Structure 1
Amino acid sequence: MDKLLPPGQFETEKWPILHKGDIPVFNKTYWNFKLFGEVKEEKILSYKEFMELPRTISTVNMHCVTTWSKFDTTFEGIALRELLKLVEIDEEVKYIKIYGYYNGDRFGYSANLPLEPLLGEDSLFVYRWKDQHHDWQDIDPKHGYPLRFIPPETFYLWKGSKWVSGIEFMKEDEAGFWEEFGYSMTANPFKEERYR
């Protein structure tokens, strides 16, 4: 895999932990994942249903807006494209918002993303990982357990919602959690799109 360090970044072999708010307690019985917005019919998946979806393994590079980059982390998870098979979306849908828990609110955090770049193997809802220093292991609660979205490396990592709870399908782009604080809507590390 290519190792291209975006401008203003430094390489680390660690996976630093940064988040805002409390770490939610996972309860398999009550957890669910909602697909909603510009869809013909909303879909709600239980944890069991979600984890029974086809799995993908992909190695990705991660770039954080706080200037660290970590290369060659391998994740196992469910590709976003698998979730698209479960709903009929309006043909004008061009954007999504991926939601996650924030201080007890399951839709308190969100990250906006264009849909088209997320259709490959590098857009995963992940539950385990490995790298050159670690064998396969579950992501821990601080990293977003039980499921965390990892975006392609063409997006800063804040677009990777932790403790995910749903996807809203949208025709128009709309600011997510950090975007409302002035962060970039597009967040491309290679163009150093940190802030608006």
Structure 2
Amino acid sequence: MEKQLPPGQFKTKTWPILHQGDVYEFNEQSWNFRLFGQVKQEVSLSFAEVMSLPKTVSTVDMHCVTAWSKFDTTFEGIALHEMLKFVELNEDVKYIQVYGYYGGDRFGYSANLPLKDLLGDNALFVYRWKDETHDWQDITPKHGYPLRFIPPASFYLWKGTKWVSGIRFMKQDEEGFWEELGYSMTANPFKEERFR
């Protein structure tokens, strides 16, 4: 069955590199992953603890707001639902912000997402990938090494935070980095929700 190309998109076999600011330089000793916000108790995981979590392999289509779409990229990573096992959420948590490094601030970048859409195996914190022309390889620093969030194909890829540093759990939706600059809160490529 032919893949559905969202409106205004073109297909590419490459994985273009786009990001704001400088590329984060990974330091395992200082890196950690924070789970906070509307939780009973905050949790901080070391890189070793994150990488010891159960792994998921999933094939995801990526749709960038700059108009390219890449089908059938296979990622290995940690599903977001594995992170949920470490925290007890307060009542009525419906949204998250996925944070990443930007401008020297570990929480300088963020992307808002509805939690209910991220509970399957296609919402991953990834560290390696492959496709029809590439064998398994680590994601590069420019793609978000050591860990990048890849959202389901129902979201534009700006929701795929690079150099991730944590998740904040929220009862109400809040703007992230690009949303503050006028991008769509919901970012569905099949509805062409690029801007507000």
Q: Which range, TM-score by smaller chain?
A: over 0.9
Which stretches in structure 2 are left out of the alignment for 5+ residues?
A: none
**Match of 1:58?**
58
**Match of 2:22?**
22
Structure 1 residue runs of 4+, over 4 Å off?
Answer: none
Q: 1:123 to 1:40 in 2, by over 3 A?
A: same
* Residues 30-54 of structure 1, C-alpha deviations (whole Å, 9 max, x = no match): 1000000000000000000000010
Alignment of 1:28-47 (within 5 A): 28-47=28-47
Which stretches in structure 1 are left out of the alignment for 5+ residues?
A: none
**Match of 1:11?**
11
Q: CA deviation at 1:99?
A: 0.1
Count of residues paired in the alignment: 196
**Match of 2:90?**
90
**Match of 2:118?**
118
CA–CA distance in structure 1, aligned partners of residues 43 and 36 of structure 2:
7
**Match of 1:158?**
158
**Match of 2:180?**
180
Partner of 1:44, secondary structure, is strand
Q: CA deviation at 1:103?
A: 1.1
Alignment of 1:95-110 (within 5 A): 95-110=95-110
Q: Which amino acid aligns with 1:42?
A: E
Q: Which amino acid aligns with 1:138?
A: D
CA–CA distance in structure 1, aligned partners of residues 21 and 89 of structure 2:
32
* Residues 110-144 of structure 1, C-alpha deviations (whole Å, 9 max, x = no match): 00000000000100000000000000000000000
CA–CA distance in structure 2, aligned partners of residues 4 and 167 of structure 1:
31
Tell me the TM-score normalised to structure 2 length.
0.99
CA–CA distance in structure 2, aligned partners of residues 111 and 157 of structure 1:
10
Partner of 2:58, secondary structure, is strand
CA RMSD of aligned residues (A): 0.8
Partner of 2:49, secondary structure, is helix
Q: CA deviation at 1:91?
A: 2.3
Q: Which amino acid aligns with 2:168?
A: E
CA–CA distance in structure 2, aligned partners of residues 190 and 91 of structure 1:
31
Q: CA deviation at 1:2?
A: 6.0
